[in-house]
Amino acid sequence: DQGEVSATPQLFDVEYLAPVQIGTPPQTLNLNFDTGSSDLWVFSSETPQQSRGGQKIFEIEKSSSAQRLANNTWAISYGDGSRSSGNVYLDVVSVGGVNVFNQAVESATSVSSSFISDAASSGLLGLAFDKLNTVKPSKQKTFITNALESLELGVFTANLKKSEPGNYNFGFIDETEFTGPLNYVDVDSSDGFWAFQATGYSVEGASGNGTGSPVVPIAHNAIADTGTTLLLLPAGINQAYYRQVKGAKEDPQAGGWTVPCKADLPDLTLHIGSYKAVIPGELILFAPIDTDDIKTAKTCFGGMQSSAGMPFAIYGDVFFKAQFTVFDVENGKLAFAPK
Ligand SMILES: O=C([C@@H]1CCCNC1)N1CCCCC1
């Protein structure tokens, strides 16, 4: 079995939503596929009206195959301070034609404000490791764990794009979505994340010789997290990069590094083992912060920010827009390639 779904960016690529079919007859909800968490939760008929902001909901009573997982609840809180919680059902879930029967579908009876105000997202589909699932007393498995035995290849891939739909594939690797060989790296899933070791970075043009700065070995632990918008890296990498950009500044008022929207940003190369992951400078230009119009805006928020205070760096959507990524569940590996 194998499947492909579109990954559609919301305004300023702040998140990517993919269609998921839940229940009988199928109800299609657009969910945020999150390799940084392991709960599949949805706005539902159990979500109080006051906590809905226009999202499409999963109407539990209209699914003939929904079964309450009695005496089980869930509650999750994300690193950005958002949180949700509720009851648990088992139902059929399909992604791009890949079907899982008896998938835990976590129904929200409470959601925090940032979820309420995000009208486009009906919830999250977690793709990290099962140990992070929050259902109690019986921890539940993710969609990918449940789908694994039916997949041709035990993998899923992320191919996100700047300001246009990309895709997630399940069960196969589409060689037309990347160039060159795949570069495999070891994963440490002991904390439940797609964690790996990055060995350093270099900034194009940093030393003015055009061939890019020497590799600066700021080795760091990192996780691959499609549910995080930006690229969160050690403070030293941020300083070395943004010091090359005229007008860049770390502005606590703005919440981090800002750059002039017209800046010509250098490429950032992240060294992962022997692999050089190039992040084109234009991806490090993120949303305007002084107006909603990137054409007239003067100041833009940087697409790379500091991971200071976090247990690891977070390779979020800015990274996945530059690098085709294989999440090899079968072998517990990640693989990257340019595209
Ligand atoms: O909650 C999160 C992210 C938030 C955005 C969506 N992905 C999960 N964390 C990042 C990974 C370490 C734990 C905190």
Residue 114, ligand 1, Cβ within 6 A: no
Residue 307, ligand 1, Cβ within 6 A: no
Which tokens go with 162? 């700047």
What's the CA-to-centroid distance between 63 and ligand 1, angstroms? 31
User: In whole angstroms, how far apart are CA 213 and each of 27, 207, 247, 295, 323?
Assistant: 51, 5, 20, 31, 21
Reduced to 3 states, what is the DSSP secondary structure of residue 259?
Answer: strand
Complete DSSP assignment for 154-182: SEEEEE--SSS-EEEEES---GGGS-S--
**Where in the sequence numbering do the catalytic residues fall?**
34, 225
Minimal-distance CA residue to ligand 1 atom 6: 227
What's the CA-to-centroid distance between 140 and ligand 1, angstroms? 19
Indicate yes or no: pTM above 0.80: yes
Instruction: Report the nearest atom of ligand 1 relative to the CA of 310.
Output: 12
Residue 192, ligand 1, Cβ within 6 A: no
Pair 259, 242: CB distance under 8 Å: yes
Q: Per-residue pLDDT tens for 33-63?
A: 999 999 999 999 999 999 999 999 999 999 9
Mutate to test the pocket of ligand 1, among 15, 40, 78, 125 (most ligand atoms within 8 A of CB): 78
C-alpha span between 82 and 151 (Å, rounded): 33
Mean pLDDT by 10 residues, the chain (339 residues): 98 98 99 99 98 98 98 97 98 98 98 98 99 98 98 98 98 98 98 96 61 73 98 95 95 96 94 94 93 74 97 98 98 98
Residue 226, ligand 1, Cβ within 6 A: no
ipTM higher than threshold 0.85: yes
Mutate to test the pocket of ligand 1, among 228, 305, 315, 319 (most ligand atoms within 8 A of CB): 228
| pLDDT value for 295 | 66
DSSP-derived pairing of the beta strands 304-306 and 231-233: parallel
Pair 206, 294: CB distance under 8 Å: no
Please provide the average confidence, as pLDDT, over all residues in the chain.
Answer: 95
What's the CA-to-centroid distance between 80 and ligand 1, angstroms? 7
